[in-house]
Structure 1
Amino acid sequence: MLHTTSSDTLRASLTGGEKGVELSIPTAISVSDVLASWPEYTVDAFQRSVLFLDLLRRRGDEEIEITSRPMATVLSFEHEVLLDGRTLSRPINYALCLTSMQARHSQ
């Protein structure tokens, strides 16, 4: 239940009892205040839009650069596949491999 107690506060009774929460009501904004601050808001919105689009462009350029390079293998070991998970009755994306202790060096 809502009760108005004065022109700038609102009392919301949570359970219909005496306890409640007081909320402040914002004062009215005049049209002249809105019109006076409108250019600042539009400039700010435009600048933020340009920055956001520049961020998207840079991220796209990074993505293109990363995907255009071949995948670099960090470690490469001689191995023998003992069991390929794709051939199981319920296929999985794993393989059981036996690796040797010597690393292959690709040059």
Structure 2
Amino acid sequence: TALFGMLFRVVPNAGQRVDDIVPGAVTIAVLFVLMTQVFPLYLRLVQGFNRIGSAFAFLSLLLIWFYLLAHLLLFGAYINATYQPYRRGRVAQRGRRRRPAKDSVLRTED
């Protein structure tokens, strides 16, 4: 989680608060652990190939693994991008309730 959190905080050229990157970092960390647990199971299923076939199968599976990892990173970034405006809007609404605007009272002239 810390690795993905640092990646989401440092890589974008924008000011990211830790609260804004936590949902995507936690989601991608859980999915990454799940993917690393499923990948060896699939390798055991493909073990029946000869030496040349298994080398090509491993290379193709490794490329598929990197492809899925890239999609996980994009999914985590999407979660963060979706959550950030929602959270900041909610915080802004709280601030508006506490501080009434100066011109919120209607004035009538006689």
What is the TM-score with the length of structure 1 in the denominator? 0.37
User: When you count strand as a share of all residues, which structure comes out higher?
Assistant: 1
**Structure having greater relative contact order (Cα 8 Å, sep ≥ 6):** 2
What is the TM-score with the length of structure 2 in the denominator? 0.36
Q: Based on CA coordinates, which of the two structures has the bigger radius of gyration?
A: 1
User: When you count helix as a share of all residues, which structure comes out higher?
Assistant: 2
